Homo-oligomer: A and B are copies of this chain.
Amino acid sequence: MTNGTLYGVGLGPGDPDLLTIKAARLIANAKIVAYPAPVGGTSFARSIAAHLIPVNAREIVIQVPMTLERAPAQAAYDLGATAVRAALRNGHDVITLCEGDPLFYGSFMYLLARLAPDFRCEIVPGVTSLSAAAAALRLPLAARNDALAVVASPLSDAELSARISESDTIAILKLGRHLPRVRTLIDSLGLTQNAYYVGHATLSDQIAVPLKDAPETAPYFSLLLIAKGVDPWL
């Protein structure tokens, strides 16, 4: 029997209309879907594509503990990969649902690392939260020969400062509890008037505002954009 193919399917930032035609077709024809969900919570990835998942599709839920240590999550991906591996061995394709783009700060790479050596894998790229945030702000991410830096907010102030100082546009992702610290840093660099906050891009509760008007607390799925050279058209 021929092994099945592992698909990593990008779903875009949240608005189901931002799925690609290819992603929508793969999901609508899926016999097996897989996706991560926080232990005890619902899967954001599944919620984006819920309207497309066939009612009789099998669903492999990878229950990921939301801990700061990496070992429990990696153990969850070991378990998930074992279930996916069995399905692939039985000749079934597995459609893995991935928020945003599968290879841009995505957890799909943990499945990929475990299964790519043994199975055919195909990635369907998706619209990133970064592109969605820029669209909400109408702010160019990069023009002409601009340099764009993309970083995660847990980096140290020194690392963030270095990336900010060197690039034309800087995106700081995964804000969450780091917002107050990052906001203070940006202010100390004199860049608050160049900075914008986007939370829950493309969802019904999207916020896209200058940093000075940002809320005090930010969800994990939020980001800052700092644009030195261009103005957005809010």
> Which B residues are CB-close (under 8 A) to A174?
145
Judge whether A116 is part of the interface by a CB distance below 8 angstroms: yes
> Which B residues are CB-close (under 8 A) to A140?
103, 106, 109, 112
CB distance from A31 to the nearest CB of B (A): 20
> Which B residues are CB-close (under 8 A) to A16?
21
Judge whether A105 is part of the interface by a CB distance below 8 angstroms: yes
In the bound complex, what is the Cα–Cα distance between A233 and B154 (angstroms)?
Answer: 28
Q: What 1/0 mask marks residues of chain A from 73 to 101 whose CB sits below 8 Å from any chain B CB? A: 00000000000000000000000000001
The answer to whether A105 touches B143 (Cβ under 8 A) is yes
The answer to whether B134 touches A104 (Cβ under 8 A) is yes
Q: In the complex, how many residues of chain A place their beta carbon closer than 8 angstroms to a beta carbon of chain B? A: 60
Of residues 112 to 134 in A, which have CB atoms within 8 Å of B's CB atoms? 112, 116-117, 121, 123-128, 131-132, 134
The answer to whether B131 touches A10 (Cβ under 8 A) is yes
Residues A20 and B144 in contact in the complex (CB < 8 Å), given A121-B138, A139-B103? no
The answer to whether A131 touches B134 (Cβ under 8 A) is no
The answer to whether B142 touches A104 (Cβ under 8 A) is yes
The answer to whether B117 touches A125 (Cβ under 8 A) is no
The answer to whether B138 touches A131 (Cβ under 8 A) is no
Residues A112 and B233 in contact in the complex (CB < 8 Å), given A128-B128, A141-B103, A162-B166? yes
Beyond the given A109-B143, A121-B233, A126-B127, could you list 18 further A-B residue pairs with CB under 8 A, ordered by the A residue number? A12-B20, A12-B125, A17-B25, A18-B21, A18-B125, A103-B134, A103-B135, A112-B233, A121-B138, A123-B136, A125-B128, A127-B127, A142-B150, A145-B152, A145-B174, A147-B151, A147-B155, A149-B150
Chain A residues with CB under 8 Å of chain B are: 10, 12-13, 15-22, 24-25, 101-106, 109, 112, 116-117, 121, 123-128, 131-132, 134-136, 138-152, 154-155, 159, 162-163, 166-167, 174, 230, 233
Q: Mind listing 6 A-B residue pairs with CB under 8 Å? A: A20-B21, A117-B233, A124-B135, A145-B174, A148-B150, A149-B167
